Amino acid sequence: MAIPISYNVRNILHRPAATLTTALGIAFTVAILIGALALASGFQAALLETGSDDNLLLMRKGADGEISSGVTRDAANIIRALPDVATGEGGRPLASAEVVVLTNKPRLGQPGTSNLTVRGVDPEALKFRSRVRIVEGRMFEPGAAEIIVGRRIAKRFADCRIGDKMRFGQQDFTVVGHFEAGGSSFESEIWGDNKVLMPVFRGDVFQSVTFRMKNPARFAALKRELEADPRLGVDVHREREFYNDQAGLLATTIRIAGVFIVIIMAVGAIFGAMNTMFAAVSARTREISTLLILGFSPLAVMLSFMLESLFLALLGGALGCLIALPINGIVTSTTNFSSFSEVAFAFRVTPLAMGVGLVFAAMMGVVGGFLPSLHAARQPLAQSVREL
Amino acid sequence: MQILLALVALIAVFGLAWALLWAVGWGLRRLLGRTTVSPLTFLFVGLTRNWIRTVLTVMSVAAALFLYVALGGVLDTLKGAIQVGSEQRLITRNGISLVFPLPIAYRERIAAVPGVQTVSCSNWFGGQDPNDPHNFYAQFAVDAATYFPMYAKDVEFVEASKPQVQVALAPGVDPALAAFMSEQTACVVGVKLMKKMGWKLGQTVTVKGTIYPGNWPFTIRAVYRAKVKSMREETMFFHWQYLNQMGMGGQSFVGVYHLALSQPERAADIAMQVDAMFENSSAATHTETERAFEAGFVSMYGNIPFVLRIIGLAVVFAILLVAANTMLMSFRERTTEFGVLKTLGYSDGTVFAIVLAEAAVITLGGGLLGALLAKSLVQKFDLAVLPPMRVDWSTVYGGVGVAVLLGAVSALIPAWQAMKLRIVDALRRV
């Protein structure tokens, strides 16, 4: 027969100080785990949401990012005229040949500088990237030396306020607006008209061409055709996949580092939990002997203490989730070394991360509770009762 | 090996401490000629009373301190990374950002600036391992005849092929580079990269270009070792001229210029002079010391150091809880014993000291174990994007200090309770 669970619950509540300190030790471990996962998924989400599955991104063959790519004006024109490109109002192709460069800017409120992406786009770019929306100021005028700045970097870098001027080459560009893009990495970029930006930067070459597919189902065939076209010399990526790949390296690094940190922390927390459980067992020697004499099997006693340890750990896990929750939405930024430029993103505490945290807490409870429970079940009866 | 040594040292220290405690206790007993037990013996008895708990607590403190010091090591590495690089040399890059090149024509004009001794140039090649694109290492195309003399004090060549033909070397070029200098497709590789890739001297290796498309074969003609921290040992160098002909169609773009100065004390002046010269030309420049240039890469990590600090704090707080919990439990169980001690005539102060000392030994032991383990293990890591990992001794001391402080803080409440304990209350519980 099993020992009632209420016995364990009461036991836990009987020692509030020990319970709370042990649970908090576990809670901090779980909170760090959730924090690391939230950092990684926030970063990944920022990049993932940048792309759309219906858009194709074309770069020069072999280029591993837009910065190292180059697409000629001729190739860009051929691509724009493809029958597979969706068209907008007035039959204009929903395509954007883009100039992508980096500019080095000082951070505000923090020492040092970082690279920001400057993107020269076709006016059509906004039509098939529907999430891009001006939140302050106005859109840049085509043909004018004007730029708009992503909301997330506007407050983090110098020269990004509306009315500020940025100098590229020998030309001053005025910041006329701030835009949002649904939290994607576009929000960490500076956009302007490609016709104005191109001559300032690299001369007659685009870095990438993005277009909306008329029929997304034709992706595989289209990819084959375009990559085989000797006039273009491009690799074809789904926009979403491309940005996901860009996130892969850093997100994986954060996850691995986070798990590494957490495993060591967990070792410490497990030792702490073992201490508490050993103390719980030794303080209750008489009770346990009594239970055994009453006829509860050693296995039932062991299970009962394992359960107690599990409760304790889950309590800690739940506390850890609570501690980690407030970091949800905090914006931080770092350089994505895949694109060599700054990406600002928000921590994302996902239900999955919290689930992982709870499962991890439960594991800590089971591992930490095993030896003390075994100890409890193997109580030398005669001796314990004699001590009464 | 280092870990083993650290462990042996640790065990030795513990053994010695134990022996010392025991000897002092024994000596005191003899000296005083009494049968009373010295406080130090109580410390020993207290620690061995429930050895499982002592070991568990020491281990949990050790785990936490390992993390604390390891994270501190990452911060040390980042901090160290902004202090590498010479302040005697300048780097001139495109004013907009590093990804834009500069024209080769600037070279002569920079060289003409008073105080500039020699000018060399390098380009980031940005190639990939064709077998595994994620296996990152850096490649630079450099103007070898000026670059290697400029960095002669920073690298030494440990292996080199014999030259096929005798060539006249430019002044200052290490004779070990004779074979490299006489071959267009040759490259020089760092010892760590050789080891990581399993390459051999004389082998031809392929790099897949991303900025300069195609597969690029290079023959390894020399292997270098770094003599200063700023020089990474995971880098490949090859001829800028070759890149110019094969990759840029002779357009002669330069990534950055390296400036060696004859008057290093005027570095700031010279940097301003260079930038002023190109302010209104097609490509404005940005000139800074090599150290500032390297520091620029570290500042790209943005908030990461801050995040590490937060984690470190959380870890410390978690140890505090674990340690405090153990102390509380351990002393609560011993209330009666303290009552007996006091009955026998031990002063309040002695009881207070016994409790504090026990906590200090546990946290000091765990702290030392964790911190030294972190020091010896973390330094073995080498991330391609950072200079080699290091842990400063100050971080180790700091960590151990934190551990002892935590021990003291967490023992304070039980120690206070033990001190204030009234004999009547203590013995009533029996």
Q: pLDDT for B238-266, tens place per residue?
A: 999 999 998 888 888 999 999 999 988 88
Closest A-chain CA to B60: A268
Distance CA B318, CA B312 (A): 10
Q: Which of A244-248, A269-273, A354-358, B45-49 has the lowest mean pLDDT?
A: B45-49
Confidence of residue B379 (pLDDT cuts 50, 70, 90): confident
A18, A63, A104 member nearest B97 (Cβ):
A104
Return all residues near B55 (Cβ < 8 A) that are at least 6 apart.
none
pLDDT for res B76: 85
Helices and strands, counts by H and E, chain A = 12, 14
Q: Are B122 and B258 in contact (CB under 8 A)?
A: yes
The span from the CA of B55 to the CA of A194, in Å, is 66
The answer to whether residue B243 neighbours chain A at the CB level (below 8 Å) is no
CB contact under 8 A, B64 and A268: yes
Contacts of A328 (CB under 8 A, 6+ apart): A38, A346, A347, A348, A349
Record: contact B322-A269, CB cut-off 8 A: yes
Task: Tell me the average pLDDT across B380-384.
Answer: 63
How far apart are alpha carbons B293 and B267 in whole angstroms?
14
Choose the weakest-confidence range: A140-149, A202-211, B37-46, B187-196.
B37-46
Task: Please judge whether A28 and B295 are an interchain contact, meaning their C-beta atoms are less than 8 angstroms apart.
Answer: no
User: Tell me, what's the ipTM?
Assistant: 0.77
| Top-ranked range on mean pLDDT: pick from A286-295, B119-128, B294-303, B306-315 | B119-128
Q: Check residue B37 and give its pLDDT.
A: 62
User: Higher pLDDT residue, A309 or B315?
Assistant: A309
Confidence band for B405, pLDDT divided at 50, 70 and 90: confident
| Tokens 């773009």 found at | B253
pLDDT at residue B189 above 90?
yes
Mean of the per-residue pLDDT values of chain B: 83
Residues A104, B286: C-beta atoms closer than 8 Å: yes
Given CA atoms A186, A190, A192, A197 in this order, what sign does their dihedral have?
A: negative
Q: Please state the rounded mean pLDDT for residues B75-104.
A: 84
Q: Name the closest residue on chain A to residue B56, using Cα atoms.
A: A271
> At residue A269, does pLDDT exceed 80?
yes
The strand pair at B186-190 and B214-226 is best described as: parallel
pLDDT band at B6 (very low <50, low <70, confident <90, very high): low
Distance (Å) from the C-alpha of residue A105 to the closest C-alpha of chain B? 9
Q: Which has the closest alpha carbon to B273: B109, B48, B97, B44?
A: B109
Mode of pairing for the β-strands spanning B235-239 and B285-289: unpaired
For residue B403, the model assigns a pLDDT of: 85
Please state whether the predicted TM-score (pTM) of the whole model is above 0.95.
no
Mean pLDDT for the stretch of residues B275-279 = 89
Q: Please, which residues have CB within 8 angstroms of residue B288's CB and are 6 or more apart in sequence?
A: B90, B91, B271, B296
CA A209, CA A98: separation in Å to the nearest integer?
Answer: 6
B127 falls in which pLDDT band (50, 70, 90)?
confident
Please give the C-alpha separations between residue A100 and each of A116, A191, B37, in angstroms, as whole numbers. Answer: 10, 9, 79
Q: Is residue A137 predicted with pLDDT exceeding 90?
A: yes
Structure confidence at residue A359 (pLDDT): 94
Q: Is the Cβ pair B214, A111 closer than 8 Å? A: no
Q: Where are the alpha helices (DSSP H) in A113-204?
A: 125-128, 151-154, 194-200
Which of residues A277 and A323 earns the better pLDDT score? A323
DSSP assignment of B290-341, as one string? HHHHHHHHHHTTTTHHHHHHHHHHHHHHHHHHHHHHHHHHHHHHTHHHHHHH
Between B29 and A100, name the one with better pLDDT.
A100
Of the ranges A137-141, A265-269, B216-220, which one carries the lowest mean pLDDT score?
Answer: A265-269
Q: How far apart are CA A206 and CA A183, in angstroms?
A: 26
pLDDT in tens, A313-338: 999 999 999 999 999 988 888 888 77
Beta bridge partners of B214: B209
Is A68 an interface residue toward B (CB < 8 Å)? yes
State yes or no: pLDDT of B384 exceeds 60: no
Please, which pLDDT band fits residue A1 given cuts at 50, 70 and 90? low
pLDDT at A366: 92
Which residues does A91 contact at the CB level (< 8 Å), separation at least 6? none
The pLDDT of residue B190: 93
Q: Is the predicted pLDDT of residue B43 greater than 70, yes or no?
A: yes
In which residue are the tokens 């580079």 written? B177
Closest Cα to residue B35, out of B25, B21, B43? B25
**Closest-CA distance of chain A to residue B317, Å:** 8
Of the candidates B66, B302, B322, the beta carbon closest to that of A264 is on: B66
Cα A358 to Cα B252: distance, rounded to the nearest angstrom:
59
Judged by CB atoms within 8 Å, which residues 223-282 of A form the interface with B?
Answer: 249, 261, 264-265, 267-272, 274-276, 278-279
Residue B385's pLDDT is what? Answer: 55
Between B397 and B23, the higher pLDDT residue: B397
* Contacts with B, A 291-350, CB within 8 Å: 332-335, 337, 340, 342
pLDDT band at B18; cut points 50, 70, 90: low
Q: What is the pLDDT of residue A141?
A: 92
User: Which of A85-89, A241-245, B38-42 shows the lowest per-residue confidence on average (mean pLDDT)?
Assistant: B38-42
pLDDT, tens digit, 9 for 90 and up, residues B292-346: 888 888 777 777 778 888 888 888 887 777 777 777 777 777 888 888 888 888 8
Nearest chain B Cα distance for residue A109, angstroms:
11
Q: Alpha helix locations (H) across B226-303?
A: 240-247, 267-277, 290-299
pLDDT tens, residue by residue, B135-148? 888 899 999 899 99
Which uninterrupted H or E stretch holds A279? helix A239-283
**B5 — pLDDT class (breaks 50, 70, 90):** low
pLDDT tens, B169-178? 777 888 888 8
Percentage above 90 pLDDT, chain A: 33
Chain B residues lying within 8 Å of A108, measured CB to CB:
none
DSSP annotation of B283 reads: S
- Quick check: A86 and A111 in contact, CB under 8 A? no
Residue A171 pLDDT > 60 = yes
Question: Residues 143-202, chain B: which have Cβ within 8 Å of A?
Answer: none
CA distance B389 to B73: 7
d(CA A119, CA A130): 17
**Residue of B331 and A77 predicted with greater confidence:** A77
Is B159 within 8 Å of B222 (Cβ atoms)? yes
Q: What is the pLDDT of residue B387?
A: 64
Inter-chain CB pairs, A–B, below 8 Å: 172
**Mean pLDDT, range B50-74, rounded to an integer:** 86
8 A C-beta contact, residue A85 and residue A94: yes
| Gap from A70 CA to chain B (nearest CA, Å) | 9
pLDDT of residue B33 exceeding 60, the answer is: no
pLDDT value for B2: 57
Give the pLDDT confidence score for residue B17 in this predicted structure. Answer: 66
Instruction: Give the pLDDT of residue B14.
Output: 66
